[in-house]
Amino acid sequence: MKLRLPRRALLWGGAVLGALVLWFVAPSVLRRLAFFRVRQVEVVGVKNLDPDAVLSALRLAPKASVFDDTRLLADRVRGLAGVADASVARRLPAALKVIVREVEPVALVPGAGGLVAVDAGGRPLPFDPARAAGGGGLDLPIAQVADSGIVQVLARIQAFDPALFHDIDAARRYEGRDVLLEFGSHRVLLTRDAGPEVMQAVVLVARDLAAKGRPYTELDARYGGQVVVRRRRSA
């Protein structure tokens, strides 16, 4: 007994097979055409990195095509210091769009040639503090050293309350392992493991003092569930 498929099914099957062949074969064929050679590269998402560094990281060949492997190009950009993630999209007929997500800088620390931007792990970033952030410079707290405890506290504040983070002028070690933050004439003392609930308590106390017009110099949040208010700095 012979099974005969309907003509429509045969046509659909042939169309699907043809589409699959075209999907795998077309890029290798089109890659050879000069019409599809890369003539423009758009870089998106760069605030602190040098766009030329991103272009160099792509390592495009003189006859690079938009049909080259975009995953390989994205991997090359991800390997660039200061890049958290990257993707590359085709813009036919002759352009590539590189989308970059940068590593978030957390602090500035003194270095051999001046201030150096570091991430939440204290690792240096290739960002020029004077020219980064779109040319306006990096507005970040200055940390005494690239200590992981200090910068991780700053990173948690940055994620929890960007406005509070923006007001921090400097950060340094205090009494061994604790952290001291400077807000103009005010200081805040924290433990290295201070979480969002501690920071929220500090913000609420500071707002209450400001609303009541009560002057203070220091807020000490190193004691579980309490914020000690001092009019004078502790030794």
d(C-alpha 85, C-alpha 74), whole Å = 8
Work out the mean pLDDT of the chain and round it to a whole number: 87
Please determine, for residue 235, whether its predicted confidence score (pLDDT) is greater than 60. yes
pLDDT surpasses 60 at 3? no
Closest CA to 151 of 130, 167, 131, 168: 168
The pLDDT value given to residue 17: 47
- Could you tell me if 98 and 58 are in contact, meaning their C-beta atoms sit under 8 angstroms apart? yes
Tell me, what's the pLDDT at 82?
Answer: 96
Please check the confidence at residue 12 and state whether its pLDDT lies above 50: yes
What would the pLDDT profile of 112-155 be if each residue is shown by its tens digit? 888 999 999 999 999 988 876 666 689 999 999 888 899 999 99
- Using one digit for the tens of pLDDT, what is the confidence trace for 85-98? 999 999 999 999 99
Question: What pLDDT does 94 receive?
Answer: 93
The pLDDT of residue 34 is: 80
- pLDDT tens column, 20-41: 444 445 566 666 778 889 999 9
Q: Give 40's contacts (C-beta < 8 A, 6+ positions apart).
A: 91, 94, 95, 96
Residue 21 has a pLDDT of: 42
Stretch 207-221: mean pLDDT: 95
Residue spans of beta strands (DSSP E) within the chain = 40-44, 83-91, 95-102, 107-111, 114-118, 142-143, 170-174, 178-183, 186-190, 218-223, 226-230
182-193 pLDDT tens trace: 999 999 999 999
